[in-house]
Structure 1
């Protein structure tokens, strides 16, 4: 079974990495923030979905404070650097990552292929536990030179709960499908939601997957007291399931690819159901930044969007190279498992493949129409019982992408 790097372990920097030809790039003069995502703080599941959301928010905020005590002090130091060979100014940007998982492969492609530097930015990843934590870390970043792969669902919830301090906006779309699923061994006897009653479920507290699952239980009329939910980080979920320490895990359904490979080695098979199969709406995956960065430094946002969407575009058109780029940077992952997971991501998260993307360019792939944005915000408001009204136009802008 492949071993996965722990959530807090730093990934290699672009400046010190290798190009596809194997040539070493000039080392940029910057330091890296290393963060460790705590998995403590929540030890029980509340009975109501609304109370669950409050608990996860407290968890995520405490996590962000711990990270940014370091990030805020260091990131200003390397705000801008210069490549010694060309003298070209490069802006230092932090990418908060919701876990070192294979569905993040498109965001590592710009590092491997040099897209970030080509667009004038040098990106340092900081690994956290869960998309929600990554999004909130962007909001709390003191420099503002930061982004994450987040979603409109999280933005809607955060904007409703914190209207006076909310400062985030999505600047491009990266996926059309709700990616969250419940994965389990076929031998567990689980077939649908009601079969989860009395079972033990693993999911990282504070993550998007956990938030979605909490709301999902409410929609299905299942009280959290009817099952046991354990706080398990993404890097340990597969081992927990295959070791039968839990009956099911909640994460992006795309993880079923590598999980199936590893389960077969034990004579087991894997099955899953998607939350979207039972009425959960799309989450509106995309690139999230601070509104101030859009207003004051649109050139930096443009660079982030262009590099990231080109990474996604390569991964859609050439999944093999996408998987190889990811593994080249994250050596603890194996190619076969990564490739299988990414093929699943194209179905269960992105919603495009090399054929269906047709003539869309990277920037057209990143466009989302206003009706879709409104629908996601409306559904999120209803599912999470939000009392505050959120204006969809304040959560998303299409100024950095192109309408198909």
Structure 2
């Protein structure tokens, strides 16, 4: 699926004034907040840096600090204890963390589709997941893809214990695949272009979403106490961020340029490809018809059941307490 860059007229009407006008003076009652990312900054984080560069957060009364992350688990934990007021983390990880006592509430979805995917070499004889039995799948120990593989296996009609898992660090997966020490590996779709560049026409790929295993991916979260005490600050954060994501779908080059300017070592072309893939992960029927960033109740219920089945939520809770759509502007949608 390829996302068109032009946004719907309704989106432009709702967001146009904020996006086109210069940032007004800083609000008198400014709230300080820090946003911890799920990982080190990359193309998928461009909207936060663009909105900060343009002064949109400041104009909305937020003094926002963006902090590099080291995984969704750390982000959920730090937001849960209030070390960071806001964060970005995989929704499944958020549900696990909440079951362990983290005081978090998801306030906006970013990845409407799971970024999880499998990669292999066609020259190995593998044509698809039906050929995975007896093969070696390499990824880091403790990786979510391992724990949830039984759900994938059931969806494609193979036995969950029919594959051999090999411990491979994240930055060695591609080289291990090319060297033949593993037959299959896992990766997030927003770096699909890197696999494609390295493997070319020999690249085999299947996304989890294609086979019907599609839990929500990265989502924005807030510390529950901060949310209760500063609802308008959270509202402002979501409002600006939602419009920033919409703007970056329409004007990706400028947004990625802001990311690159703020983070030494990033390259415009590479992060632009990353961002283009992110727009695919952001788009599904719900985000196109109901609202960009809006959580679907039935999917959240299903995700809770899926996570509980494969990770066992330590202290069960009502899934409705883990997220809110209160701050989402439903006039802002992903384009068709």
The TM-score bracket by the shorter chain reads: 0.7 to 0.9
What SS class does the counterpart of residue 283 from structure 1 fall into? coil
Given the alignment of the two structures, is residue 372 of structure 1 paired with residue 299 of structure 2, yes or no?
yes
TM-score by length of 2: 0.74
Alignment of 1:2-401 (within 5 A): 89=30, 91-119=32-60, 120-128=62-70, 130-142=71-83, 145-160=84-99, 162=100, 165-206=101-142, 208-209=144-145, 211-213=147-149, 215-217=151-153, 220-223=158-161, 226-233=163-170, 235-242=171-178, 246-264=182-200, 269-283=202-216, 285-347=218-280, 349-351=281-283, 357=288, 364-384=291-311, 389-401=316-328
Shift of 1:180: 0.8
What SS class does the counterpart of residue 68 from structure 2 fall into? strand
Conserved 8 A contact 2:174-2:195: yes
Conserved 8 A contact 2:31-2:233: no
Conserved 8 A contact 2:81-2:102: no
Q: Corresponding residue for 1:22? A: none
CA shift in 2, pair 1:253/1:294, >3 Å: same
What SS class does the counterpart of residue 160 from structure 2 fall into? coil
Conserved 8 A contact 1:204-1:232: yes
Q: How many residues align?
A: 303
TM-score by length of 1: 0.63
Conserved 8 A contact 1:316-1:352: no
CA shift in 2, pair 1:314/1:186, >3 Å: farther
* Cα distance in 2 for residues equivalent to 1:272 and 1:329: 33
Q: Which has the higher helix share?
A: 2
Shift of 1:216: 3.2
Shift of 1:249: 2.8
Unaligned runs of 5+ in 1: 1-82
Shift of 1:276: 2.1
* Cα distance in 1 for residues equivalent to 2:284 and 2:151: 27
Higher RCO (C-alpha under 8 Å, 6+ residues apart): 2
Conserved 8 A contact 1:96-1:138: no
* Cα distance in 2 for residues equivalent to 1:227 and 1:390: 34
Shift of 1:89: 4.1
CA shift in 2, pair 1:208/1:314, >3 Å: farther
Q: How big is the alpha-carbon RMSD for the aligned residues of Structure 1 and Structure 2?
A: 3.5
Conserved 8 A contact 1:108-1:311: no
* Cα distance in 1 for residues equivalent to 2:249 and 2:58: 21
Unaligned runs of 5+ in 2: 1-24, 332-336
Conserved 8 A contact 1:156-1:395: yes
